[in-house]
Structure 1
Amino acid sequence: MTLSIGGVAAVVAFMSGCAGTKVFEGQTAFSVMGTPPAPPAPPPPPPPKKDEPPPRVEVRENKIEIHEKIQFEYNKATIKPESFSLLDEITDVIKKNPHIKKIQIEGHASSEGNAAYNKALSDRRAKSVMKYLVDHGIEAARLTAKGFGSEKPIATNDTEEGREQNRRVEFNILEQDVTQKKVQVDPNTGKEKVLSTTSKAVSDDMKPKAGQPGKLSNPKAGNK
């Protein structure tokens, strides 16, 4: 069949009045009914990352610093169960730092009460902590424990808040291997070249002096 130009125009006019999409192939028009599907929705954004809590246990130059108090039963050397997870973290930190050769676990008390009794109690508590660490895989040769009573306060004993801070356990590093590297820098490339590496044991000279006790950060409420 042959269509005149007018006939083609009539067909186009007729098709334009129909619903749907017009598709032309040569001189033939096809009508596609309906609407194309909508594109898929984009995936939802990933949930925001939660801020990780700060570590409770950190290795410093000459100490293992804990940011939470080890809790004991009142007037006893028995560790409360709520402190087990903290002691487990301390255990893990010691295991992951084999260069630390000797740690002194120090028990401290406030000046409230009998000085001799407080010193003996702080000593028993330090030894209780040492036993926990040994029972959980730390070599006994790497640890020593001693109680100092109220001899090394880090806060005033005139307030309950200060006395609470003074009741604590500290972990001072007595001996550790220190690695030193001798490095040469290439002036042309700026790259470093290690010439030699030496290790040495550093001991009591790194221990805090009596007038310079370590600072306990953010202590939680404790017990006598």
Structure 2
Amino acid sequence: MPSMASGTAPSIPRSPAPPRLEEPSAPRTGLPGPDELVEAADLSGADWSAAVLEGVDLSAVGARSMSTQQCSWDHSQWADVALDSCDLAASSWRDSGWQRTQMSECRLTGAVLSGCSLEDVWLRGCLLDMAQFRFASLRRVRFSGCRMSGVDFTSAHLEEVVLTDCRLDRAEFHQVRITGRRSSRGSRPGPGLIIEGGSMDGLAGADQLRGAAVDPVHLDTLGTLLAGAAGIRLELPG
């Protein structure tokens, strides 16, 4: 990134705060009841597929190879959660939030987090094709090496979000709001969104990425996308 003079340099996004987990956690695989707080638990191997988890909160929870695909997590709050190789595909969260949550090699294909709040979240090597973050608020969120084709960030608020080596082909960024952080009074805000490496073929809403920093490797692709958004044809009539 470009070097700026001291005192005027824009700040870069901070890393998400890690989960605060207690060791050891008590093993648990049984389904929680409505409005239950699942706390200080190891949910490895649990199968809650297609469950309705109304008001179920997770706190200081870890899991490996857990399945919660097609679950409904309405009015659910997650805090200090670490998931590894878990299947959350086609699950939905409504009026919910994730805080200090990390996921590694998890499947969230078609997951719906529209209108949710994500803060201090880090997803590594996850599958998020067709996932929805419409109208969601993301603050200090990182996606590293994730497959995110067709992911939808329409009307989302992105603050200190970093996408590294992610496949963003056909991703939607229409009407997105990007907010950078100021490191000190008088300093310029840094990029609220960084797209580094990966791919972004067919990305929609490229003209809405004001406040983002995009890897120069995407210069040709971004130019084509911006021309298309402006109604410019990059070819001469035959």
What TM-score, normalized to structure 1?
0.19
Rg larger in 1 or in 2?
1
Greater RCO structure (CA 8 Å; 6+ sep):
1
What TM-score, normalized to structure 2?
0.18
